[in-house]
Structure 1
Amino acid sequence: MDETPAGDISRFLKRLQWALVALAAGWLVWLLGPILTPFVVAALLGWLGDPLVDRLERAGRSRNTAVILVFTLMALLLALALLILVPTLQRQVITLVESLPHYRDWFVGTAVPWLEQRTRLQLSTWLDPEYMIEQLRVHWERAGGIATTALGYLSRSGFAVFAMIANVVLIPVLTFFFLRDWDVFVERAASLVPRDHLAIASQLAKESSEMLGGFLRGQFTVMLILGAMYGIGLWAIGLDLGLLIGIVAGLLTFVPYLGPTSGVVFGVIAALVQHGDWKHVAGVLAVFGVGQVIESYWLTPKLVGDRIGLHPVAVIFAVLAGGQLFGFLGMLLALPVAAVANVLLRYAHARYTHSRLYAGQAPAIVIPDQRVSEGGIIMPGNDGDAEEGEGEGRA
């Protein structure tokens, strides 16, 4: 390794070039975020389905046949989920809309007085319709600006709907091509890696793929099971919106602690509004308590484990940061990027602990040989004795 100042400058410039390339790539993703979403979704689906395609290939089927079988299976599962979930969610949303007056009356007549009594804040003033109309009249200019913005958004919503429909049509088409040519994409990406770093890059890519693939498959299964458990449990204790709350809580399980927390809050409010007794509140707490025990001691260890290797705080930060920087696309890319970054950080940590920067420049300390005497006292060894013993052994 070149330790001269010129070598240091060369290494710094090389690292600066890679940093600029990374910044340019991030800026490009930020610019193209709205049109990259279907490609990212299709790439994730193709990546998740590629192991099954490879397994069918090893069983003797051609690549095209294996891709058609896997793609058909994925389409059937999606259609089955839509046939089950869409009517259920539609009925639950209708029930929610019909129940909104009851929730409003409970909030104004029960929740607000309870909060006012304990916080000594006049919250009911802000909820008075006449007061709200007066505030709207006073701030009419600001409200007019908001209305103008809203109308402008609605005028552009036709393009948004068209873009959404285009994305829905594109995703299955792109998924099929990603499934068919996934190995080709991997080989082309590998061909761009410098030959000196190919072994390390392949190993890191394999670790990232195995870690993230196992995590996503396991986590998706946990979400489905918990959503069904929560929904059926809340419906069984008599909540009209139990299925909707359970499904939402199951989907939010992807973000640690957010799913059960939101489910408990919504479930308790629904129990108080619909029944108004603590028996149903206790039922809600029991449903989520049992669900958390099953998730913690069986579902997560069995299906997910610690495959991604990230702390829950890091997962939450990654999802929120991705959404803040790149919107919905960033939320999709948050966990894959975090998993790859975790693998790279572990590799960097291993390199750092074996580097001169970590070990330092001081000479190694040699600990003299120590021997235990017959009385159990540790005695310093004699190098001469050791050399004589070695000479006798060689003789």
Structure 2
Amino acid sequence: MVRILRGLAYKYFSDDEAVILFLLLVLGTLGIVFFGQMLAPVIASVIIAFILQGLVTKLNQLGIPEMVSIMGVFLVFLGTLIGFLFGLLPLIWGQVAALAGETPRIFKETQTYLELLPEQYPNLVSIEQINLLFQQITSEAAHLTQWIVSFSLASIPDLMALLIYMVLLPILVFFFLKDREVLLGSLSRMLPSQRPMMLRIWHEVNQQCANYVRGKAVEILIVGGATYISFKLLGVPYAALLSLLVGLSVVIPYIGAAVVTVPVAMISLFAFGWGSHFIWVMVVYGIIQALDGNVLVPILFSEVNNLHPVVIIIAVLFFGGIWGLWGVFFAIPLATMLKAVFSAWPVKGQAMEPLEEQ
């Protein structure tokens, strides 16, 4: 066993740069796991600045001065944040409250419908099965109500922290955009002067993750906006809430669209019943999903290396279990980063082409 471990260490850790990179990865992972909640505003600001930097670069390429580009992009971000907090968020919260008020009526209509099933299909469904199902639904609804109440009471002390985050976030985003070169230069001075492997990984991860994160942000806006306009024109209730769910569902490939179809279908069914209106809603929803998967995704992610669907699902489950919603959103970029690390990792006996620092 000792000989095997010694051979693996010689094969994969004989390069000093590989050892340093391994230590940085371990320390970074431990830092996020143990201090991620404390540093949440900083991490979120870095991610947002990373997304906005692409727009700043585009404006610079058009001949606009860098400081003017930064101020313009920052003002757009600030306006979007204010619009979300004071426009979209109250609308969604109001629809959530309205849906909660409609829940007893939905349960009653569901009960009336299910009670007819034993009469229509006596060989498939019995009254005992229906009663057992409703006992379970009532129990789960009671637990859900208790959770909502306890969550609301527990979240009261966090309101002040949320307000502080809302103030800190724009400030940090501005300074990350403005002093990007200074901050990156300070970090690079802490690394070895000769670092071809790190440069190779950095260039690949920067290109892949930047394209993915920015493309995914644009996809959420387009899919969510198209869904809201379509549902509003069709008269679907809770259009803002459903469009938010549909927009966020694109974060989880293959799974998100299937999961969010359930609330869309249920709310449409209870609103319009079985009929042509319900069919039109589901057809329009299916068209949006088809255009997203077959048109929008290839355009936005043409430069992103495709991962195998099994790898994507495993990454979503693993990183989502560790970091929750943030882990789900960044599961694919993290998987891409790991792929870049494994591809560029120096192995004894294999030569690696040098990469000049840009």
Shorter-chain TM-score bucket reads 0.7 to 0.9
Measure the CA separation in 2 of the matches of 1:312 and 1:64. Answer: 41
Of residues 305, 310, 322, the one that matches 2:307 is: 310
Where does 1:139-288 land on structure 2 (aligned, <5 Å)? 157-197=155-195, 199-288=196-285
Measure the CA separation in 1 of the matches of 2:131 and 2:348.
61
Alignment deviations for residues 103-122 of structure 1 (CA, whole Å, 9 cap, x no partner): 11122222476499646562
1:295 to 267, 292, 297: 292
Q: Give the superposition deviation at 1:26.
A: 2.5
Distance 1:51 1:62 in 2: 15
Find the aligned partners of 1:234 and 1:9 in 2 and give their Cα distance.
58
Task: Call closer, same or farther: CA 1:274–1:346 in 2, change over 3 Å.
Answer: same
The answer to whether structure 1 residue 336 and structure 2 residue 333 are counterparts is yes
Query: Matched residues in 1 for 2:268 and 2:59: separation?
Result: 49
Q: Which position in structure 2 is the counterpart of 1:377? A: none
Aligned partner of 2:98 among 95, 116, 119: 95
TM-score normalised by length of structure 2: 0.77
Letter in 2 for 1:215: Y
Q: In the comparison of the two structures, how many residue pairs are matched?
A: 335
> Displacement, 1:223?
1.5
The superposition leaves residues 294-347 of structure 1 with CA deviations (integer Å, 9 ceiling, x where unpaired) of 113321111223515323443343333223223455445534322211222333
Gaps of 5+ in 1: 137-142, 357-395
Contact 1:248 1:259 in 2 (8 A): no
Matched, 1:72 2:65: no
Q: Distance in 2 between matches of 1:321 and 1:269?
A: 30
Q: Distance in 2 between matches of 1:304 and 1:353?
A: 34
CA distance in 2, matches of 1:151, 1:89: 19
CA distance in 2, matches of 1:9, 1:82: 52
Q: Which has the higher contact order (CA 8 A, sep 6+)?
A: 2
TM-superposed deviation, 1:43: 0.2
Kept in 1: contact 2:221–2:247 (CA 8 A): yes
Aligned to 2:110: 107
Q: Cα gap change, 1:184/1:252 in structure 2, threshold over 3 Å: closer, same or farther?
A: same
- Report deviation, 1:266: 1.4
* Structure 1 counterpart of 2:131, one-letter code: S
* CA distance in 2 between partners of 1:62 and 1:38 (Å): 28
Q: Is the 8 A contact 1:37 1:329 kept in 2?
A: no
For residues 152 and 291 of structure 1, do their structure 2 counterparts lie closer, same or farther at Cα, with a shift above 3 Å needed?
Answer: closer
Contact conserved, 1:95 with 1:240, CA < 8 A, in 2? no
Other-structure match for 2:356? none
Distance 1:332 1:232, change over 3 A: closer
1:14-163 residue pairs with structure 2 within 5 A? Answer: 22-54=25-57, 56=59, 63-82=66-85, 84-111=87-114, 114=117, 118=124, 122-125=129-132, 127=134, 157-163=155-161
Post-superposition CA distance 1:121-161 (Å, at most 9, x none) = 624246359x96xxx9xxxxxx9xxx8x9999777544333
Q: Which amino acid aligns with 2:134?
A: L
Instruction: Using structure 1 for the length normalisation, give the TM-score.
Output: 0.70
Partner of 2:354: none
Q: Which residue of 2 aligns with 1:376?
A: none
SS in 1 for 2:37: helix
1:370 aligned residue: none
